[in-house]
Amino acid sequence: MEKGFFKKNKILGINLLYILSVLPLIIFGFYKNGIVVYQHDFISLLLALQYLIIPIVIIILSYVFETYYYMGTKKEEDTNSVVNSIVPYVNVLCYLVCAPNDYLWLTIPLIIVLDVLLKFIDSKLAINQIALFKGILFGVMTLMNNLNYANLYEASLSSQVTDPAMLFIGNGIGAIGVTSSLCALIGYIILLFNSYYKKDIPIVAFIGYAIVSIIMYFVGGLSFNDILVNTFNSGLLFALIYVASLSTATPVIRSGRIIYALLVGVLCAISVNILNMDIGVYIVILVLGLLSPIFDKFKLSLGE
């Protein structure tokens, strides 16, 4: 599907598509946690702008460290590995799962340090960096007794949004870039033009999620509205589209990806609709990602 410019500049085109896919999330996160909060006089314009500045800083630092790693440490003579790296994309996704709190700038060194540490771990391990970062962040926030994802304006409101349509747009409480399912879907459309993106994983995972959710509707007593609210409130679409499909931490062969994605969807449905644990989505993705080599051994007659 990559044509014209992307066909002639394949590596550059692939990474450009990755970055373009997260732009809707970054812009919405800036609007929701920056502009809106600034308009209600809870923060200054400078603090509002941090939601644009930080992802730019992360992208720049990512390329700086990638250059040092490949050309300084590994002594490579060309920049192919640097240009081909998806690390800036992954690190920005790590930023997007952060809470809009006072410690936001401290997440930058945490993101970069985690990326550096993972480079020294056996590359055969399929570690999902975004899911791992989310788990570490959750642990740190728990220790600090600060598991709050509301920005200052949202914290001032007497009630939370419960309308599924408004939650779908992104008006719920959550991490910077995960609340808008609409923006996540726009990003997915952009990623469809990237031949390296494992586009089947989000679809199969959501099918698995939907099947289990329907069973819960008929057997578990959950209303359709409850399921929609839980789905959009949990940032599930962001997790399936961007985290569960991470190319470096998912099965390679098609049948392995299908089994992996179905399990992700089924277990995420249990985590979101029964356990009410949004962090459970990332734990599921992290654990199943580590099992990718096992899933790759399941070769079914699916055109491999």
Q: Do residues 269 and 147 make contact, with C-beta atoms less than 8 angstroms apart?
A: no
Residues 6+ apart with CB under 8 A from 206: 237, 240, 265
Q: Let me know if residue 157 belongs to a domain.
A: yes
pLDDT tens digits, one per residue of 60-95: 999 888 888 777 777 776 677 777 788 899 999 999
Burial 195-206, CB ≥16 within 10 A → b, else e: eebbbebbebbb
The H-assigned helical ranges of the chain are: 5-8, 10-30, 36-39, 45-67, 80-84, 87-96, 107-119, 129-143, 152-156, 164-169, 181-191, 200-215, 224-233, 236-238, 254-273, 278-290, 292-295
Q: Let me know if residue 300 belongs to a domain.
A: no
Ramachandran bin of 194, using left for φ above 0, alpha for ψ from -120 to 50, beta for the remaining angles: beta
Residue 154's domain spans which residues?
Answer: 5-295
d(CA 172, CA 233): 6
Q: Let me know if residue 77 belongs to a domain.
A: yes
Name the residue with tokens 């959750």: 138
- When divided into structural domains, the chain yields a total of 1
Q: Let me know if residue 163 belongs to a domain.
A: yes
Q: Let me know if residue 109 belongs to a domain.
A: yes
CATH number of 202's domain? 1.10.3430
Q: Let me know if residue 301 belongs to a domain.
A: no
pLDDT tens digits, one per residue of 154-204: 999 988 888 999 999 999 999 999 999 999 999 999 999 988 899 999 999
Q: Do residues 261 and 244 make contact, with C-beta atoms less than 8 angstroms apart?
A: yes
pLDDT tens digits, one per residue of 110-151: 998 898 888 777 666 778 999 999 999 999 888 887 778 999
Q: For the whole model, what pTM was predicted?
A: 0.90
| HSE toward the beta carbon, residue 8, CA cutoff 13 A | 2
d(CA 193, CA 123): 27
Instruction: Give CA 210 to chain center in angstroms.
Output: 20
Q: Let me know if residue 287 belongs to a domain.
A: yes
Q: Do residues 241 and 234 make contact, with C-beta atoms less than 8 angstroms apart?
A: no
Q: Let me know if residue 303 belongs to a domain.
A: no
